[in-house]
Structure 1
Amino acid sequence: MTVVLDRPYQFIPPHRGNWWPSFIQTFRLVDFYLKKKEGVVDYECRGLHHWEASLKRGDGILLAPNHCRTADPLALGWPARELKHHVHAVASWHLFNTGRFDSFAIQKMGGFSLNREGTDRASLEIAISILVDANRPLILFPEGTTNRTNDVLKPLLDGVAFIARTAARRRAKDSGGQVVMHPIALKYLCVGDTRDWCDQQLSELENRLGWARSTTFSILQRTTRLAEALLSLKEIQHIGTVQPGSLPSRRDHLIERVLDVSEIRLGVSRDADGIRGRVRAIRTEIVAQHFAAIKNGKEPLASRDRLARDVDASDLAQDLMSYPNCYMQPDQATDTRIVETIQRMQESFLGRSDIGVPLKVVIQCDEPILIPAEKAPRGERDPLMNRLQERLTIMLESLSAEARNAADAGLS
């Protein structure tokens, strides 16, 4: 569950010392963690000379990567190690509530919390001050959340440009320095043959549905069939029956249905822009109602369970957004796309994903985008975000070609 209902939000500031991040990097604890928890066993950095040049100029540096896996923040510890320069990073509040070790490690590596369910002025001010001071680069994921769809970029959050422009104005006034933004593309590639892993994981999911192990369908076909079956189960759960139409139209209809039900039950208007805006509005209201009830001494278990169902519904809507159209078409599918889809289904159906496929991450840093001190034009999307989206998209399209297509990998 991505919304924390056990305790109210409390800002966690970043650790600014060097001893802990140096210790973690020296003993390569990042490598150990990524291998054990995420299956990432290797990395390759490209274009680090762009990042290094900005460091030498003393710029305030905003690193803006795509965000397809929970491994992303720690994976950026590798280029930081090569450049011998620590970083700060914005992390969602719920990540500080997954366990004491994770919370400790995130903060000591320079992470600080962000309340996604409300206005977080403390986090905003810290992010701006990091860019103004220019002691360390700041990692800020413009997509906001992970999507486990490496080759497709989700819509970017305009708040990234607001932070960058505000910092640029303050830095120009305080020291005459500049702030730059480096687009960074993260691409995970499968290491070795994935057929046995895919067959084993698909068989487990098929067994849970009561299906006999398929001998006539390819790995790609089995993955697609399971995705449709799991969508059907969610339709029955939330609508009562399997819906007609194409998979994309059924997905969109289910998203609308679960959001509509929660919005009506919670009394949330539909003024928010897009699915992600509606999800955020629902989560914000859930947190507000939950802690208001506790404050008034009116927090029965039934109320908590009802709000938890709304959290699950918002999570489902966000998860369904991560199944893009045509991602698994035979002429476009790759081994990494199939692995991503299987892991996403495992997370939705089993609550966890198997990390038995060894992965290598390519970390490509692009040329800096100079952040202007002027405010963004009114009535239109910030041009900075258009440039960032264009740069990230170009890099990801290029990197996606490095994955093996499904036919060559023996999966179709």
Structure 2
Amino acid sequence: MTVVFDRPYEFVPPIRSTVWPWVIQRLRLYDFYLRRKEGVVDYELRGIEHLKDAVNAEHSILLAPNHCRYADPLVMGWPGRHLGIHVHAMASWHLFNEGKLDAFAIRRMGGFSVFREGNDRKALEAAIEILVDGRRPLIVFPEGTTNRTNDELKPLLDGVAFMARTAAKRRQKLKQDPATEATAGSGQVVIQPVAIKYLCVEEIDRWAKEQLDRFEMQIGWNRMPDRDLRTRTIQLAEAMLALKETQYYGHSCGGPLPERRDKLIDHILTVTEAEMEIERPSEIVRERVRNLRATASSRFFSDAYDGQAKLDLRRYVESADLAQDLSSYPDSYLMEDQATDTRIVETIQRLQETINGKADHSIPLKAVIQFEKPITVETGRPPKGQRDPMMQSLEDSLKSMLSDLSQEARRV
């Protein structure tokens, strides 16, 4: 997720018209985009009756999928087309700055911006209004950011529960007011858990060998002995870590990879926080990264910062992004008894993004989109000092579905 330094943030509201979404669905434009840009060539819907029942009951629906690939928002268009409905979606501000065509398409498909480097009240209010209205489901990715660990769920953001609960309270008030009762809708606000799992359509050996060969030649590893795909991928991940250790320490380190990764993440963030003269907000990597990015973004457009200072801010953000990227390499993802073809593909593509800035998407994928029973949003406050039971239910549902879906990948 890129911090936009070209211009200050300006909220991009959703377009309510359904004409453009209808045209885009009819022409199957996102099918073409997904196939060409993300390698997603097929899909399968499971448990779609849960979403259909919620739509028929006139519930206000917050769709809450896991977020492991950039393809996810467009993949969520397939269930909508199947049921003949349109959606709104909260999209990161940087996506509206990738190009005029992308910004045009995102808005016409129902997307609106959110500023992840700050408190975006306009985006929050837009999301709540969409849920109060209830005419179109709202897609919000509760993990907040993309990660390439399809089989593992990152911690969920509590803002999802706040939006849903606030909307439920407002709908309840509307129903109690005779003047607005007819426009309040008869259904409830519900959170619909959605698990997205990408499966490889064909054997990965040829694709993976080509990608690993390029990587090894890139770092000068010529005439290497024959090794299996898992071993080669792990060795390249270790080489990448050693490269980054040398960049930030001046030398590579020894020891288990998870310990080295965590030590490097903390070192990068600690040094960057010190150079920016800001306090550590918590021990959680995601919160520290967000604090660094938010501070850099706010300072960048201040008159007090000149050319060199702005270059330094860009460097700080790059360091924060690297720390977050390193945190997305799970400890046991490629253990011998757990490695699958999809995990090999994800790790190679993540390495490509870390080193080259872009992943190869020529491997064909099939998206399995699974729905679970919706969670009814209660208006009462969650227990003080305890995990929000609504978010716990969402987390449990997503983890259960992803665990089952992960078994469908081929073992390597």
Q: TM-score, normalised by structure 2?
A: 0.96
2-structure distance, mates of 1:42, 1:173: 43
Shift of 1:306: 0.9
1:397 counterpart residue number: 403
Write the letter of the residue equivalent to 1:248.
Answer: P
- Deviation larger for 342-351 or 302-311: 302-311
**C-alpha contact 2:57 2:187 (8 A) present in aligned 1:** no
For residues 134-169 of structure 1, what are the alpha-carbon distances to aligned partners after superposition, in whole Å with 9 as ceiling and x for unaligned?
010000000000101100000000111111111111
Alignment map for 1:38-117 (pairs within 5 Å): 38-117=38-117
The one of 203, 211, 219 equivalent to 1:209 is: 219
User: Is the 2:132–2:167 contact (alpha carbons within 8 Å) kept by the matching residues of 1?
Assistant: yes
Q: In structure 1, which of residues 359, 371, 376 is the aligned counterpart of residue 365 of structure 2? A: 359
Which deviations, in whole Å up to 9, do the C-alpha atoms of 1:343-383 show, x marking residues without a partner? Answer: 00000111100011000000001101000011222222211
Deviations along 1:248-287, whole A, 9 cap, x unmatched? 0000001001101111111221123511011110011101
Residue 281 of structure 2 contacts residue 291 of structure 2 at CA under 8 Å; is this kept in 1?
no
Deviations 1:88-143 (A, max 9, x none): 00011111111111111111100100001111110000101111100100000000
Alpha-carbon distance in 2 for matches of 1:256, 1:110: 38
Q: Conserved in 2, the CA contact under 8 Å of 1:203 and 1:213?
A: no
Q: Does the CA contact (< 8 Å) of 1:206 and 1:213 recur in 2?
A: no
Any gaps of 5 or more consecutive residues in structure 1?
407-412
Identity percentage of aligned residues: 55
Aligned to 2:178: none
Q: Report SS of the residue matched to 1:292.
A: coil
Q: 1:140 corresponds to which residue?
A: 140
Which residue does 1:242 correspond to in 2? 252
Give the letter for the 2:89 counterpart: A
Structure-1 separation of matches of 2:223 and 2:127? 51
Alignment of 1:337 onto 2:343? yes
Moved over 6 A (4+): none
For residue 113 of structure 1, give the secondary structure of its aligned residue in structure 2.
strand
The answer as to whether partners of 1:142 and 1:160 remain within 8 angstroms in 2 is yes
Q: Mean alpha-carbon deviation: is it higher for 76-85 or for 380-389?
A: 380-389
Per the alignment, residue 168 of structure 1 pairs with 168
Aligned residue number for residue 375 of structure 2: 369
Alignment of 1:131-280 (within 5 A): 131-175=131-175, 177-272=187-282, 274-280=284-290
Q: How many residues align?
A: 402
Distance (Å, rounded) in 1 between the aligned partners of 2:350 and 2:171: 42
SS in 1 for 2:169: helix
Query: Superposition RMSD on alpha carbons, in Å?
Result: 1.1
Q: Which amino acid aligns with 1:318?
A: Q
Can you list the C-alpha shifts for 1:49-107, whole angstroms capped at 9, x where unaligned?
A: 11011111111100000000000000000000000000000011111111111111111
Tell me the SS of whatever aligns to 1:105: helix
The more displaced of 213-222 and 390-399 is: 213-222
SS at match of 1:8: coil
Q: Extract unaligned runs of 5+ from structure 2.
A: 176-185
